């Protein structure tokens, strides 16, 4: 019952933001604020929307395992680190990540832009029980191994992080360079 409650909270946030956008529209010359509120609302909607569906993000899109050209092994550590912390991939490449949690607590690996991950980490602190079903994220219990298949469609530097509460802030993050 974690996701519905998270969705309800997130949905009410969107409603509040829409309400604030409406109230600001009453002020004729406050167009800058309107635009900002509308953008914020759109951003909140899209982040809510990303939960539980398979849409892509700025980093690329969910990959098909049979198209994977490479397997990258990643280890999750209780020292709040990923090994390796940096990964280089080619633009267009579909990567099959095999992610092993050798620690004693639950970890996750979520792909995203730095901004997406930061916003998401803040949300996780507010809702620590939120479960992740997203295609760009895998949660791995202690001693277990998880899979993530992702196609990197855009060149650039992207991040991955563990968004279990406090882990991102403790430095559990890494960088993916797409060329
Ligand atoms: Cu972690």
- Residue 23 Cα to ligand 1 midpoint, Å, equals 40
Closest CA to 44 of 119, 104, 107: 119
- Residue 2 Cα to ligand 1 midpoint, Å, equals 19
pTM, entire model: 0.67
- Residue 59 Cα to ligand 1 midpoint, Å, equals 21
Q: How far, in Å, are 58, 147, 151 from residue 92 at the CA level?
A: 13, 19, 6
Per-residue pLDDT tens for 46-63?
Answer: 333 344 334 456 789 999
Per-residue pLDDT tens for 100-109?
Answer: 999 999 999 9
In the predicted model, what is the mean pLDDT of residues 91-102? 97
């Amino acid at each position: 019952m974690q996701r519905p409650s998270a969705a309800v909270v997130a949905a009410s946030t969107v409603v509040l933001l829409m309400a604030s956008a409406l109230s600001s529209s009453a002020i004729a010359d406050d167009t800058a604020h309107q635009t900002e509120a509308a953008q914020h609302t759109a951003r909140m909607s899209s982040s809510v929307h990303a939960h539980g569906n398979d849409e892509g993000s700025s980093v690329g899109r969910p990959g098909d395992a049979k198209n994977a050209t490479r397997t990258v092994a990643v280890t999750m550590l209780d020292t709040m680190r990923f090994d390796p912390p940096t990964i280089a991939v080619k633009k267009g490449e579909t990567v099959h990540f095999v992610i092993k949690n050798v620690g004693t607590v639950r970890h996750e690996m979520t792909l995203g832009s730095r901004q997406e991950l930061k916003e998401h980490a803040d949300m996780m602190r507010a809702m620590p029980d939120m479960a992740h079903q997203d295609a760009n994220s895998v949660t791995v219990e202690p001693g277990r191994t998880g899979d993530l298949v992702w196609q990197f469609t855009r060149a650039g530097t992207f991040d991955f992080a563990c968004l279990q509460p406090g882990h991102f802030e403790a430095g559990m993050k890494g960088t993916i360079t797409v060329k």
